[in-house]
Structure formats: C-alpha cells, structure tokens
Amino acid sequence: MDTMKAGLLAILAATPFAMAQDAAAPAYRSQAEILAASPDAHWRTPDPANLLVMELPAGRVVIELAPAFAPQHIANIRTLAHEHFWDDTRIYRVQDNFVVQFGDPAASDEARAKPLGTARRHLPAEFTRAASGLPFTPLPDADAWAPQAGFVDGFPVARDPAADKAWLVHCYGTVGAGRENADDSSRGDELYAIIGHAPRRLDANLSVVGRVLQGMALLSAMPRGTGPRGGYATPAEHTPIHAIRLASEMPAQARPQLQVLRTESATFGELVESLRWRTDAFYKRPTSRVEVCDVAVPVR
Amino acid sequence: MDTMKAGLLAILAATPFAMAQDAAAPAYRSQAEILAASPDAHWRTPDPANLLVMELPAGRVVIELAPAFAPQHIANIRTLAHEHFWDDTRIYRVQDNFVVQFGDPAASDEARAKPLGTARRHLPAEFTRAASGLPFTPLPDADAWAPQAGFVDGFPVARDPAADKAWLVHCYGTVGAGRENADDSSRGDELYAIIGHAPRRLDANLSVVGRVLQGMALLSAMPRGTGPRGGYATPAEHTPIHAIRLASEMPAQARPQLQVLRTESATFGELVESLRWRTDAFYKRPTSRVEVCDVAVPVR
C-alpha cells in the first residue's frame, strides 16, 4: 500500500464517522469496481502443491492449504492425496450452521477403518505458531476474540504479539483437521469445512489447514444430517467423494486456474475500507467497522 | 435468576480464566444436561398470533415475530398472511453465506406485481426502538458492534443505553423485511432469513421482524442462486411456497407446538456460562467469552 493511501486510511480509522463523511472520505467504489481496477500484480497464483481438489458428483471444491500454519498436517494431507486415500470416501456429517465433515466414515472403528498408507498415524497438535516472521496485514478494528486479527497470504489469522502466537481463524469456508478429545488426535484424514456463523470458540483448539477457494456452495447447500452432531441417519445419505488430488499431481489442463487477491496489496486495503464504511446508498447507518470473518478474500 | 447464581456469574465474568478454573467454577454440565434439568416455568409458549408458518414442499418453517420491535411491519405481515398473500409465492433468492429471500418474484415490477390486498403500501422504517422498558438480559462480554448485546424474550438484541435505542441483531436465523435503497421502502411482503455468518453490518439498517424457530435447515440447504446477489437464473429454480399462515388462524391441531427457553431464566444464564467457559474435554483453550450470535436460544 502506498504511503499516501496508508496515511489516509490511518486518518479514516481514527476519525469519527460524521467527520469522515466530509472531504476526507474517498469516493465510494463498490467491491466489483475496486476489483475490476486492480492490477494483475495484486493477485497471486496459489502453488499447485497447496491446492487440494475434491471431486464430488455435483462438481469440484478447491481448498488452499496453509503449510505455514500446520506443516505436519499438510505433509500428511499431501501423502494421503498422493496415495488416493480419499477415493470413494464420503461426506458423512453436515451439521446446520456449523460444519461439513468428510473422510472415511469408519475411521473411528479400527477393524473397519481404511488404511492410511504411508501417512503418519500420529501428529503433534498444530493449533498455533510463532507470530514472528509472518507477513501479517492487520484489520484496523478491534477483534472480539484475539488481540489482533487480519490476514496472512489470503488466510484469516489472529495474532497475540505478547505471546508471539498466531493462528488461523475459523471463518466461513475455513478447513480444519477433525480430532477426538486428545489435542494430538488429528491426522488430516478427516477434514471439516465451516458452513455457518464463524465458530471462533474453535480457534487455536484445532489444527486448521486452509480454506475453500472455490465450490463452497456445493458444501454449504448439502442436506443436513438428522443424526447426532449432524451425522446422517443412514450411509445411503452420504455424499460420495470421487477423489481428492493435489493440483500439482493433476495434468496441467485439469488443474484449477485460480488467483487470490494479495491481502498485503493496496487493492485489498481499499476493499477493506469499502466494507468498513459502506457509504453506498443502501446503508443508512454506516458500520465503520469490519470483522475478520466479514471479509471474503476475493478469488478469480 | 436467583441472587446467589447471579452473584456467582458476576464473579466468573470478572475473573481471569486461570482463577475461575479453581474452586469457584461450577461443575461442567453440557447444554443437553442443562436443558434436561430445566423447570417448565423457564420455557414460554409463543403467542400463536406471533407465529408465522411457512409451508414448503420439503416441510414447514416456523418464524416467531417480534412486534415489540417492528409493530407496523408485523401488523402488515399479519394482514398479508390473513389474506393469503403468500400462497403460491416463491423463494427466489438464495445467496451463499448470506440470505434466503422470499415473496413475490415480480414485486419490483408494478405491472406484474401481486396485489397487496388491504396491507399498507407504505410503512415507516422500524430499524430501532427505545431501549427503555425492554426486559433486556445482557451478555457478560463486550460486543464488537454495539455498546451492549443480549436477549429480549428470546430474540438477539443490541442496545445503546446512552441513545436509549435497541434493535434486533442479524444472527443466523434472523428474519427481516427486504427493502430498496429508501429506508422506508419495506412493507413486510418480501422477507429474508439469514443463512450464513451474522451480517452485523445490516443491524439497524433494516426492519427486522423476528427469527426462525423451526425448519431453518430447509432454508439453509437450498441450492444457491447463480445469478446476481444469489437470484436464480430461471424461475424454474424457484422453490414454491404453498402458503404462509399465522398459527392463530390455523386449526388448533395443525398449529406448531413449540416452546422457547426464557432468556431471562436461570437456565438460560447457566447455558450462556456453559458456552462461555467450555470446560468439557474437547476444548484445550477455553474461550471465556461468547458472542450474541453464538447463542442459539433453545426451542423445544
């Protein structure tokens, strides 16, 4: 972000709304207008080794992995994808306003569980990491759940500078590794995606591995399970997963062609301010704030 | 809530977590255990004149209206239901992580719009009301969007005591009256229900009329519209609404038999504390807070 822009944003952030509506406020541009005007340099192409491509009967879901936050889980996920562990597994849990969960429905039954192949059977919990060294773009408003919230490479992140800790935030579309009660019981074979109001209570309580870039509506519109915790009453209700592959292991022409807006770019900064101020004609009471889970980082 | 309990909760609210885990913390009970032990007096039966019953092909959605907050909109909604305005209308918009909207798909086209009957064509905006006189149960934690957040008669509510204003909060399941850009352009004939992360930016920007008590998953699992703002590309994709009736105008045996936990009861207070502290075996990093939209007020 250039210095003048950063200065203006800092002034806006510190200015009561009635004043900001005066000459200091920039002309309103919609999200679509801001993105249409963005230079290509403000977008990045995800590393194909970080793209997990899930093939469902209704289409494709693309997840971007965040190895900076859960390296050991993501190494295991890459092994599982490479060895085709998820071929013919299932989406077996859809809990309304909470999660879609998928993998081997028999995972908790040792006698019937699908073998993990060469993937590790035990991983450390990767709930938080050091905050130092992360290219963190903070949001200007206070977060209700953490000392700071913002973005790292397109992922929603919370940070505690005093404790030098950072962690991926549970927003709509966040993907994490399911576990039992033991903190180190996740292995990356059972994954969940958030399909409801951000359950921030889960932050730093599970190993989060990434977020959905494309196909979210295929997950969020699935019929809800009627059993306990959104499990389906019968296996016939499960949705089959044809396959999950790393984009890096797919033929080039079959790979998803996606770009993510750089969250350290001036375009993203303007987008956040647009979401904060909402000076378009619809809003009668501008909010003058935004939460980390209000910001869907653009994908094109 | 009895005095001792209220005192304990006040101590907990003011106590850093490491201390509260000591002798002062009550034994953990799950939400199910708390509700199972609740006396009948802690539940209320909604007034049938405040229950809107929507009949969809897949089943029934029940909305509780909040006339204390939007009396003129709700008077209009009662007229529209009484005159069967919504018979054979449509769910015409399902925008992922945002809203389901329903009513007459041709409402904005004067030549084709369905007549409103004796319902009023113009209503004042009912975005906020006086805070005075409301039986408000505050949450102990700070809200990111308003000076206070809590509950009134089972509805999520924000409050600004200095301005003597209160308003219904946009949480998952909140129902409001759609409008055009003019603040007084909603009439209650076009309604929306929130199906994603709480869009708190809408608070006090629209006239909110109630919340879904039952059948939420019928709305949240609908296929997403692929047109602008989640509109469906073709009318064939709309979901037909067979009818919307007031429970008070249905035969007694057909009415929904629902009760809502009283948000001023000690049971609700214990439930909130249970959600705040999460001392069960799964949580490794208790959150020690809860947001108003994290609390789904129980319905039985």
Chain B residue nearest residue A95, CA to CA: B217
> Which residues of chain A lie closer than 8 angstroms to B183, CB-CB?
284
Cross-chain residue pair B217–A96, CB shorter than 8 Å:
yes
Q: Which pLDDT does position B273 carry in this prediction?
A: 93
> Quick check: B96 and A197 CB within 8 A?
no
ipTM attached to this prediction: 0.91
Read off the pLDDT of residues B13-22 as tens digits, 9 standing for 90 and up: 333 333 334 4
Does the pLDDT of residue B1 top 70, yes or no?
A: no
CB pairs under 8 A between A and B: 113
- Give the distance from residue B82's alpha carbon to the nearest chain A alpha carbon, in angstroms: 31
Instruction: Name the CA radius of gyration of chain A, rounded.
Output: 20
Cα dihedral angle (A99, A104, A107, A110), rounded to 10 degrees?
170
Matching residue, tokens 């859960």: A70
What is the rounded average pLDDT for all residues in chain A?
A: 91
> Taking CB atoms and an 8 Å limit, are B283 and A183 in contact across chains?
no
Q: Does B146 touch chain A (CB under 8 A)?
A: no
Q: Which residues of A touch B293 (CB under 8 A)?
A: 197
Please tell me the distance in Å from B24's CA to the nearest CA on chain A: 22
Name the residue type at position B147: P
Q: Would the CB atoms of A287 and B145 count as touching at under 8 Å?
A: yes
Q: How far apart are CA B51 and CA B257, in angstroms?
A: 10
> Does residue B261 contact residue B295 with C-beta atoms inside 8 Å?
no
Rounded to an integer, what distance in angstroms lies between the CA atom of residue A165 and that of residue B3?
Answer: 40
Over 50: is that where the pLDDT of A187 sits? yes
Pick the residue from chain B with its C-alpha nearest to A276: B201
**Which residue type occupies A128?**
T
Least Cα distance to A187 among A166, A204, A209, A203 occurs for: A209
Q: Tokens 């073998």: give the residue.
A: A115
Q: Which residues of A touch B198 (CB under 8 A)?
A: 197
What are the tens digits of pLDDT across the range B52-86?
Answer: 999 999 999 999 999 999 999 999 999 999 999 99
Q: What is the mean pLDDT of residues B284-299?
A: 92
Is the minimum CB–CB distance between A224 and chain B shorter than 8 Å? yes
Nearest CA in chain A to B58: A223
Q: How big is chain A, counted in residues?
A: 300
* pLDDT tens digits along B176-229: 999 999 999 999 999 999 999 999 999 999 999 999 999 999 999 999 999 999
CB contacts under 8 A, A 63-122 vs B, are: 94, 96-97
Q: Does B59 touch chain A (CB under 8 A)?
A: no
Kindly indicate the confidence band of residue B28, based on its pLDDT and cuts at 50, 70 and 90: confident
Neighbours of B152 (CB within 10 A): 20
Please give, one letter per residue, the 3-state secondary structure of A131-177. Answer: CCCCCCEECCCCCCCCCEEEEECCEEEEEEHHHCEEEECCCCCEEEE
- pLDDT (tens digit, 9 = 90+) per residue, A30-65? 899 999 999 999 999 999 999 999 999 999 999 999
Q: What's residue B112's pLDDT? A: 95
Kindly state whether A295 is in contact with chain B, defined as any CB-CB distance less than 8 angstroms.
no
Mean pLDDT, residues B31-38 taken together = 95
Distance from CA of A196 to the nearest CA of B (A): 5
Whether A171 and chain B come into contact, CB under 8 Å, resolves to yes
Is residue B101 exposed (0-12), middle (13-18) or buried (19+ Cβ within 10 Å)? buried
What integer is the mean pLDDT of A171-189? 97
Asked if residue B207 lies in contact with residue B70, where contact means CB atoms within 8 angstroms, the answer is yes
**Cβ contact B282–A145 (<8 Å):** no
Asked if B221 lies within 8 A of A96 by C-beta distance, the reply is: yes
Query: In A, which residues are within 8 Å of B200 by CB distance?
Result: 287, 291, 294
> Among residues B124, B130, B188, B171, which one has the least CA distance to residue B290?
B171
| Residue B227 to residue B299: CA distance in whole angstroms | 34
Alpha-carbon distance of A107 to A116, in angstroms, equals 10
